[in-house]
């Protein structure tokens, strides 16, 4: 398959899968105001996914954006494993989003300089949204980290668990390298210093400890996932798969 | 009730040049959260260019029973309005 | 004297504002009605929220999430308006949890298929809009302002529901059957949303006199039915009421007898989902307690509040 096509799918999948997780929060938020905030993030992510899928669909020429989202199997999804991690409690969701928002913010900043004009435009639109998401998740990390003993312990535990999924952000495979050489893609390795700075700064403000880099999960670039993704897709794709002839 | 949130009044400026207008309230523990909650609730349809939030408890309102004393005295001071004055026929731009 | 001034203001179509004198009965009626309205918006998130993760296209997903989010927003507008009467949102939510405050019974029915998203948008939101349009002219200022804002935002809700129904009605045989089934299940509960018939509604008297309510239950219900019959015809679905027919003389549709036993059963807590809806709301509230507490503690410690 076309390198660019895969490269775009990876970006789109991350947004779709995390958006799906965010939409699970609807009617379950800790306050009604926060419920609305979480839905807003979900809507931004679905919008991003849609934009990137549309572009992928144009390159592919066979499958529509919806088919890309609803008719691929577990092993054909390339989102970072962190996006599919379960919401858990509110603190876990905020840690997951914070680690990912900080990365995506830096990533889209770089991608907005891509030689590929469509990608650059999609990235520029996404930066504004992710900047707000990062602000939102960082503020919660600080509040929960520096709130009560209970909240600090809870968030630290979520952080210690989710840390293993941050290694994937900075991996580069053949496709990434090709895209980088062609001036289309981003050098993820280069983003790590800046990412570390954002993370450390916020964790310090929240009186939280940055976990040591230990075992790091890997594999999403080859469609390897945690078990959670299968269930997420089964639920999300149920209607188009149960009624393949129907239009909605 | 131990768990009372702080209530903030929200004022939105819909575009530059216009005055901020009261739109309702949000609950939030701190001012940053108040501003973000106001953004997420009251500007979902692109209605904002600037947001003010202020703690509801900080707003001082005139009382309904004082309204006659407050507002009626200005009723009979028509000389504050331009229509009070008689202009000679033919005078323009005044 | 106060009472007379108050009623005069009402007659002159002047709005009552939070600081104005008002009879206790007026205040209590408003708190009851507005909080019930707010709770309905919030509990109403659940039956549709049930399908967000299963919406069949990216477009449908975004629309449904935005719509349910609007309901949260509208709940907030209404809580905010209700708070001007001197009662806190926490107290109102406590009343909901203690089952002292009610919400619209329609949300105690389950959403079984995707077509129910269509039926809810088209019928349930359609009925709600008829009621809300009327309430824009309610006598209490903050309530009226909230209604105006809500009506403006809700105008897309009914359309998205009707669009789903229309798409399905012209889709595969299975889809059309699903759409008809959803209409069958939601029709009667929807027209019962307007509440008991005028002859049976004990509080309507004062509410009309105080101009909190501007039209009676039966007037609103008739208005909704008259609007909806033609919409069903356009998309080729059948309203499940054999007695439904145009009455030339009245200039309205006649319709069949509603099942009030079922209505009261659901109002009194025995609907298919009453327990589930309330438990869901309580669980979210309890699960969020540590978060709200942490935020309060953080604000105290850091004097950024």
- Render pLDDT for A116-151 as a digit per residue (tens, 0 to 9): 999 999 999 999 999 999 999 999 999 999 999 999
- Residue of C29, C28, C30, C38 whose CA lies nearest to C141: C30
pLDDT tens track for C59-79: 999 999 999 999 999 999 999
Q: What is the per-residue pLDDT for C305?
A: 55
- Residues of chain A positioned with their CB less than 8 A from the CB of B27: 31, 33
Residue A145 domain-assigned (yes or no): yes
- Cα–Cα distance measured from residue A43 to residue A22, given in angstroms and rounded to the nearest whole number: 9
Measure Cα distances from C222 to A153, C122, C151, C226, C239 in Å.
58, 16, 20, 6, 15
By 3-state DSSP, what share of chain C in percent is helix, strand and coil, each rounded to 5?
70, 5, 25
Measure Cα distances from C159 to A39, A47, A59, B7, B10 in Å.
21, 21, 33, 34, 30
What mean pLDDT comes out for the span C203-226?
91
Q: Which of B42-46, C198-202, C223-227 has the highest mean pLDDT?
A: C223-227
Number of domains composing chain A = 1
Mutate to test the interface with B, among A25, A30, A33 (most CBs of B within 10 A): A33
Check if the beta carbon of residue B25 is closer than 8 Å to that of residue B56: yes
Please give the mean pLDDT across all residues of chain C.
95
Q: What is the per-residue pLDDT for C185?
A: 98
Q: What is the per-residue pLDDT for B70?
A: 87
Domain residues for the domain of A195 are: 3-242
- Residues of chain B positioned with their CB less than 8 A from the CB of C81: 24
Residue A114 domain-assigned (yes or no): yes
Q: What is the per-residue pLDDT for A1?
A: 64
The residue of chain B nearest to residue A38, with distances taken between CA atoms, is B40
- Residue of A238, A233, A216 whose CA lies nearest to A75: A233
- Size of chain C in residues: 305
Q: For residue A222, name the pLDDT band (cuts at 50, 70, 90).
A: very high
- Cα–Cα distance measured from residue A9 to residue A60, given in angstroms and rounded to the nearest whole number: 11
Please give the mean pLDDT across all residues of chain A.
97
This prediction's pTM: 0.94
Give the sign of the dihedral formed by CA A16, CA C62, CA A101, CA A33: negative
Rounded CA Rg of chain C: 20
Residue A52 domain-assigned (yes or no): yes
- Cα–Cα distance measured from residue A74 to residue A6, given in angstroms and rounded to the nearest whole number: 15
Residue A205 domain-assigned (yes or no): yes
Name beta bridge partners: A3. none
Smallest Cα distance from B74 to chain C, Å:
21
- Report the residue from C149, C293, C295 with minimal CB separation from B33: C295
Check if the beta carbon of residue C151 is closer than 8 Å to that of residue C133: yes
Q: What is the per-residue pLDDT for B46?
A: 83
Q: How many CB atoms lie within 10 A of CB A198?
A: 18
- Cα–Cα distance measured from residue A195 to residue A169, given in angstroms and rounded to the nearest whole number: 10
Residue A247 domain-assigned (yes or no): no
Give φ, ψ of B10 to 5 degrees: -115, 135
Residue contact B4–C88, C-beta within 8 A? yes
What mean pLDDT comes out for the span A20-32?
98
Tokens of B48: 């904002």
Indicate the pairing of strand B50-55 with strand C252-254: unpaired
- Residue of A219, A206, A201 whose CA lies nearest to A164: A219
Q: Residue A238 pLDDT > 90, yes or no? A: yes
C280 touches chain A (CB under 8 A): yes
Smallest Cα distance from A34 to chain C, Å:
10
Find the helix packing angle between A32-60 and B31-42, rounded to 10°: 60
Q: Residue C2 pLDDT > 60, yes or no? A: yes
How is C227-245 classified by DSSP, letter by letter?
A: HHHHHHHHTT---S-TT-E
Residue contact A46–C298, C-beta within 8 A? no
Q: Residue A165 pLDDT > 90, yes or no? A: yes
- Report the residue from C59, C79, C297 with minimal CB separation from A148: C297
- Residues of chain C positioned with their CB less than 8 A from the CB of A45: none
Check if the beta carbon of residue A74 is closer than 8 Å to that of residue A41: no
Residue A161 domain-assigned (yes or no): yes
- Residues of chain A positioned with their CB less than 8 A from the CB of B5: 31
Tokens of C140: 């209490």
Name beta bridge partners: B9. B25, B54
Q: Is B9 helix (H, G, I), strand (E, B) or coil?
A: strand
Please name the residues in contact with B55: beta carbons below 8 A apart, sequence gap of 6 or more. B6, B7, B8, B9
pLDDT tens track for C29-61: 999 999 999 999 999 999 999 999 999 999 999
Q: What is the per-residue pLDDT for B77?
A: 84
Mutate to test the interface with C, among B8, B30, B63 (most CBs of C within 10 A): B30
3-class SS string, chain A: CCHHHHHHHHHHHHHHHHHHHHHCCCCCCCCHHHHHHHHHHHHHHHHHHHHHHHHHHHHHCCCCHHHHHHCCCHHHCCCCHHHHCCCCCHHHHHHHHHHHHHHHHHHHHHHCCCCCHHHHHHHHHHHHHHHHHHHHHHHHHHHHHCCCHHHHHHHHHHHHHHHHHCHHHHCCCHHHHHHHHCCCCCCHHHHHHHHHHHHHHHHHHCCCCCCCCCCCCCCHHHCCCCCHHHHHHHHHCHHHHHCCCCCC
What mean pLDDT comes out for the span B79-87?
87
CATH, residue A123: 1.20.1260.10
Query: Could you tell me which residues of chain A have a Cβ less than 8 Å from any Cβ in chain B?
Result: 31, 33-34, 36-37, 40, 135-136, 139, 143
Residues of chain C above pLDDT 90, percent: 91
Q: For residue C304, name the pLDDT band (cuts at 50, 70, 90).
A: low
Mutate to test the interface with C, among B11, B29, B38 (most CBs of C within 10 A): B29
Q: For residue B1, name the pLDDT band (cuts at 50, 70, 90).
A: very low
Give φ, ψ of B22 to 5 degrees: -65, 135
Q: What is the per-residue pLDDT for C299?
A: 94
Q: What is the per-residue pLDDT for B53?
A: 97
- Size of chain A in residues: 248
ipTM of the complex: 0.96
- Cα–Cα distance measured from residue A69 to residue C100, given in angstroms and rounded to the nearest whole number: 45
Q: What is the per-residue pLDDT for C22?
A: 96
Check if the beta carbon of residue C146 is closer than 8 Å to that of residue C85: no
- Residues of chain A positioned with their CB less than 8 A from the CB of C174: 243, 246
Average the pLDDT over each of A187-191, A228-232, C267-271 and give the range with the smallest value.
C267-271
Q: Residue C201 pLDDT > 60, yes or no? A: yes
H-run or E-run covering C253: strand C252-254
Residue A248 domain-assigned (yes or no): no
Give φ, ψ of C302 to 5 degrees: -105, 5
Q: What is the per-residue pLDDT for B3?
A: 77
- Cα–Cα distance measured from residue A132 to residue A41, given in angstroms and rounded to the nearest whole number: 9
Check if the beta carbon of residue A223 is closer than 8 Å to that of residue A75: yes
Measure Cα distances from A47 to A17, A51, C265 in Å.
12, 6, 42
Q: What is the per-residue pLDDT for A174?
A: 97
């Amino acid at each position: 398959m076309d390198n660019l096509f895969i490269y775009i799918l990876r970006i789109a999948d991350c947004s779709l899968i995390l958006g799906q997780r965010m939409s699970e929060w609807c009617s379950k938020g800790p306050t009604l105001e926060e419920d609305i905030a979480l839905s807003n993030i979900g809507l931004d992510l679905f919008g991003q996914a849609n934009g990137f899928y549309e572009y992928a669909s144009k390159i592919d020429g066979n499958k529509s954006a919806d088919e890309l989202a609803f008719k691929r199997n577990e092993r054909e999804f390339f989102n970072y494993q962190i996006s599919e991690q379960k919401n858990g409690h509110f603190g876990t969701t905020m840690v997951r989003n914070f680690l990912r928002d900080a990365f995506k913010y830096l990533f889209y900043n770089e991608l907005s300089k891509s030689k590929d004009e469509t990608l650059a435009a999609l990235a520029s639109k996404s930066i504004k949204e992710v900047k707000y998401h990062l602000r939102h998740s960082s503020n919660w990390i600080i509040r929960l980290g520096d709130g009560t003993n209970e909240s600090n312990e809870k968030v630290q535990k979520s952080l210690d668990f989710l840390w293993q999924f941050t290694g994937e952000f900075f991996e580069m495979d053949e496709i990434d390298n090709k895209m980088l050489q062609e001036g289309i893609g981003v050098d993820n390795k280069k983003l790590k210093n800046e990412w570390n700075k954002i993370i450390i700064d916020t964790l310090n403000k929240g009186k939280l400890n940055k976990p040591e880099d230990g075992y790091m999960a890997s594999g999403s670039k080859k469609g390897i996932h945690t078990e959670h993704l299968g269930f997420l897709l089964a639920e999300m794709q149920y209607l188009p798969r149960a009624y393949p002839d129907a239009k909605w | 009730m131990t768990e009372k949130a702080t209530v903030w009044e929200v004022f939105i400026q819909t575009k530059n040049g216009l005055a901020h207008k009261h739109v309702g309230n949000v609950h939030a523990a701190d001012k940053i959260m108040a501003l973000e909650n106001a953004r997420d609730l009251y500007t979902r349809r692109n209605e904002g260019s600037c947001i003010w939030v202020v703690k509801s408890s900080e707003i001082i309102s005139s009382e309904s029973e004082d309204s006659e004393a407050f507002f009626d005295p200005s009723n009979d001071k028509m000389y504050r309005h331009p229509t009070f004055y008689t202009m000679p026929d033919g005078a323009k731009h005044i | 004297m106060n009472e007379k001034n108050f009623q005069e203001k009402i007659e002159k179509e002047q709005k009552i504002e939070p600081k104005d004198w008002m009879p206790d009965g007026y205040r209590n009626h408003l708190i009851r009605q507005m909080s019930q309205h707010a709770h309905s918006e919030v509990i109403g998130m659940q039956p549709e929220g049930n399908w967000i993760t299963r919406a069949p296209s990216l477009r449908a997903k975004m629309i449904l999430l935005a719509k349910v989010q609007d309901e949260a927003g509208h709940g907030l507008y209404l809580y905010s308006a209700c708070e001007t009467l001197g009662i806190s949102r926490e107290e109102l939510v406590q009343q909901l949890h203690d089952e002292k405050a009610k919400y619209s019974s329609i949300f105690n029915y389950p959403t079984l298929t995707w077509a129910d998203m269509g039926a809810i948008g088209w019928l349930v939101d359609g009925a709600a809009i008829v009621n809300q349009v009327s309430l824009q002219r309610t006598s209490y200022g903050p309530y009226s302002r909230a209604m105006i804002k809500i009506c403006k935002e809700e105008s897309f809700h009914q359309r998205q529901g009707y669009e789903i129904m229309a798409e399905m009605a012209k889709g595969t045989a299975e889809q059309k059957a699903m759409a008809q089934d959803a209409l069958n299940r939601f029709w009667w509960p929807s027209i019962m949303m307007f509440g008991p018939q005028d002859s049976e509604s004990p509080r309507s008297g004062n509410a009309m006199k105080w101009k909190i309510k501007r039209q009676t239950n039966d007037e609103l219900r008739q208005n909704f039915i008259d609007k909806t019959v033609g919409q069903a015809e356009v998309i080729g679905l059948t309203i499940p009421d054999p007695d439904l027919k145009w009455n030339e003389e009245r200039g309205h549709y006649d319709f069949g007898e509603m099942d009030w036993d079922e209505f009261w059963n659901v109002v009194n807590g025995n609907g298919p989902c009453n327990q589930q809806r309330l438990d869901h709301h309580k669980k979210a509230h309890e699960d969020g307690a540590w978060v709200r507490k942490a935020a309060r503690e953080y604000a105290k410690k850091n004097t950024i509040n």
